[in-house]
A and B are shown apart, each in its own frame.
Chain A
């Protein structure tokens, strides 16, 4: 339902949309790295 979503999003500028995507990407990557490196570290340290 693109019209409805557009309504929800109001009139965001292309810069705002791009900024949204960049922030989300960085945060998601950070969360994944915390999860992955954490398990990897414990895995390597385990006997």
Chain B
């Protein structure tokens, strides 16, 4: 490896003009610093949102009202969802994108380094608005993350804070997306054609387009909510001639692509981890790319499957059912490709691979229950039951979070320069997968038996499964603290990581030393088949 074209070993401090201490982080325009900040921010928000979920599960340990008022319970589940979606999962994958995309593409940094800084620093004020809304008169928004009117038109100042937070988060996402698309389209090293790009770049390219097309819709919806609340309009107020169901259409026109905004980068990470630990190239690269594009496109045409019980016409129900079922085709292509990548591979089961396999099994379960819910006749029975809660936690937690952990353990040696503790990593995986299933699998049964979601009380026959689910949730929650131990240990020291610590890994990111120097690829690196992912 020729160091002159791959990396500059000089540190930030050697330039003399760079600020240090807190100002380094506030003013940084370096993609690695900003990626690190995104990842820490998302983990802190993950703990905050997780603590809120434990309040919910503690309340549900037994029937009746135990610890919190129904109003506060609703505020907890609203903030839990908003924080987990916008504050934890999305920033985590933006953090991965910031750290890894320039390294994977052979670019010196993101295309707009200063805008990158701004994209990140918009997040803490939004987080403060969301969590701070708990302390204002009337408390936080208690509508659920969907912010449906008429309740969202009637609530107190906490709703305005949530709306403002969503505006800020949307701006941050759009700026981040513009940066990512520009970087991918314009800063790839010579020779890296689109169809030779790393799969993580492909998933993020489609995700960023989804964000740019769907985030302004959400911004429009909450702006209209704001004008209904304070400026006398009646977009969603039936009393003024408006229609609350209109909000549901608008929200889910954003909300369904949002599901894939979370899932696609997760697919990207897994598409790197599985080939690396199978010691084989990814099976079906081209079909994978088309599947990603198809999922992105179809995600805009299925929104009303969240609204089967709102009285949409039968023809509409049938259309949305068939369109939703259609998504199973490209998703099936991806699962098939991951399994076929492993077929006859020289597999090994280090922590990243364990999390990728956990993702594969559990995300597939979440996908299958999604197909069940896509059937109109079934969904009308299961709408707003715990079956839906179980379904989307299998997709979001076992899908997105497990994939994020796979990425964390996979790239941690590149970030810290040290190998993580494999035993602790494996312990983290096994505790996570066992407690996750204890927490969420019984919720399928609760939903099938008719337990409604978003209610702090329930009929006595649901007690046992709720108790089991609660034990699983607390076990899952506390086992996540192991990640902190693993990361701190790797940051402090341990076995030195080689430039390419995984023998099956491919790509430009493994041609720079570990830890990756502060500045990399000032000159575009050579790109050949040996470093290609395809």
Write out the residue numbers on chain A whose beta carbons fall within 8 Å of the beta carbon of B182. Answer: 19-20, 23-24, 27
Q: Which residues of A contact B241 (CB under 8 A)?
A: 46-47
Known contacts A16-B186, A23-B181; A4/B216 CB under 8 A: no
Which B residues are CB-close (under 8 A) to A47? 234, 240-242
Question: Which residues on A sit within 8 Å (CB–CB) of B246?
Answer: 42
A6 CB → nearest B CB, Å: 10
B109 touches A16 (CB 8 A): no
Across-interface contacts of A46 in B (CB, < 8 A): 233-235, 241-242
Using CB atoms, name the residue of chain B closest to A2: B17
The reply to whether B523 and A11 contact each other, CB–CB distance below 8 Å, is: yes
Specify which chain A residues have a CB less than 8 angstroms from the CB of B234 in the assembled complex. 46-47
Q: How far is the CA of A34 from the CA of B108 in the complex (A)?
A: 32
Enumerate chain B residues within 8 angstroms of A32, measured Cβ to Cβ: 216
Q: How many angstroms between the C-alpha atoms of A20 and B113 in the bound complex?
A: 12
Q: Is the interface of A mostly helix, strand, loop or mixed?
A: helix
**Does residue B264 face the partner (Cβ distance < 8 Å to A)?**
no
Q: Is the CB of B216 within 8 A of A24?
A: no
- Residues of A near B178 (CB, < 8 A) are 23-24, 27-28, 31
Of all A-B residue pairs in the complex, the 7 with the closest CB atoms, nearest first, are A10-B108, A35-B216, A47-B241, A10-B522, A34-B216, A8-B109, A38-B220
The segment out of B24-32, B151-159, B326-334 that lies at the interface is B24-32
Q: Which residues B182-234 have CB closer than 8 A to chain A?
A: 182, 185-187, 212-213, 215-217, 219-220, 223-224, 233-234
B113 near A1: Cβ-Cβ < 8 Å: no
**A27 pairs with B181, CB closer than 8 A:** yes
Q: How many A-B residue pairs have CB under 8 A?
A: 101
| Contact-residue bracket for chain A | 20 to 34
Does the CB pair A4–B17 fall under 8 Å? yes
Known contacts A19-B186, A30-B213; 11 further A-B pairs (Cβ under 8 A): A1-B27, A3-B17, A8-B29, A9-B108, A19-B185, A20-B186, A24-B182, A35-B217, A38-B216, A39-B220, A46-B241
Choose among B18, B185, B213, B235 the residue that contacts A1 (Cβ–Cβ < 8 A): B18
Assembled-state Cα–Cα distance A41/B212 (Å): 19
User: B174 at the A/B interface (Cβ < 8 Å)?
Assistant: yes
Please determine whether A10 and B17 come into contact, CB atoms closer than 8 angstroms: no
A47 and B246 alpha carbons, distance in the complex (Å): 13
Report yes or no: B15 in contact with A23, Cβ–Cβ below 8 A.
no
Given contacts A10-B523, A42-B235, contact A23 B185 (CB under 8 A): yes
Render B345-376 as a binary contact track against A, CB cut-off 8 A, 1 for contact.
Answer: 00000000000000000000000000000000
Is B53 located at the chain interface by the 8 A CB criterion?
Answer: no
B220 partner, pick from A10, A28, A35, beta carbons under 8 A? A35
Chain B residues near A (Cβ < 8 Å): 15, 17-18, 27, 29-31, 107-109, 111-114, 174, 177-179, 181-182, 185-187, 212-213, 215-217, 219-220, 223-224, 233-235, 240-242, 246, 519, 521-523
* CA distance in complex: A23, B178 (Å): 8
Q: How distant is the Cα of A7 from the Cα of B179 in the complex, in angstroms?
A: 18
Taking the closest CB of chain A, its distance from the CB of B189, in whole angstroms, is 11
| Contact A34-B213, Cβ < 8 Å, known A9-B113, A27-B181 | yes
For B108, B186, B233, B241, the residue with the greatest tally of chain A CB atoms inside 10 Å of its CB is B186
By a CB distance below 8 angstroms, the chain B residues around A16 are 186-187
Q: From A46, which residue of chain B is reached at the shortest CB distance?
A: B235
Q: Which residues of A contact B31 (CB under 8 A)?
A: 8
A3 and B15 in contact, given A10-B523, A23-B182 (Cβ under 8 angstroms): yes
Contacts of B112 on A, CB cut-off 8 Å? 20, 24
Residue of A nearest to B175 (CB): A28
Q: How far is the CA of A7 from the CA of B79 in the complex (A)?
A: 40
Contact A4 B174 (CB under 8 A): no
Given known A1-B27, A4-B29, A16-B187, contact A31–B17 (CB-CB < 8 A): no
Pair B519/A7 contact, Cβ less than 8 Å:
yes
Residues of the A chain whose Cβ atoms lie less than 8 Å from the Cβ of B213: 30, 34
B184 shortest CB reach to chain A, Å = 10
- The smallest beta-carbon distance between B235 and chain A, in angstroms, is 6
Give min CB distance, A20 to chain B, whole Å.
5
Query: Assuming A10-B523, A28-B178, is B187 touching A39 (CB within 8 A)?
Result: no
Residues of A within 8 A of B217 (CB): 34-35, 38
23 contacts between A and B (CB under 8 A): A1-B27, A3-B15, A4-B17, A5-B114, A7-B15, A7-B519, A8-B519, A9-B108, A10-B107, A11-B522, A11-B523, A19-B186, A20-B182, A20-B186, A24-B182, A27-B182, A28-B178, A31-B174, A31-B212, A35-B220, A38-B217, A42-B235, A47-B242
Cα distance, A16 to B224, chains bound together (Å): 39
C-alpha spacing A38/B216, complex, angstroms:
9
Contacts of B179 in A (CB 8 A): 24
Specify which chain A residues have a CB less than 8 angstroms from the CB of B174 in the assembled complex.
28, 31
Assembly CA distance A5 to B521 (angstroms): 14
CA distance A34 to B246 in the complex (A): 17
For the complex, what is the distance from the CA of A39 to the CA of B222, rounded to whole Å? Answer: 10
Contact call B113/A5, Cβ cutoff below 8 A = yes
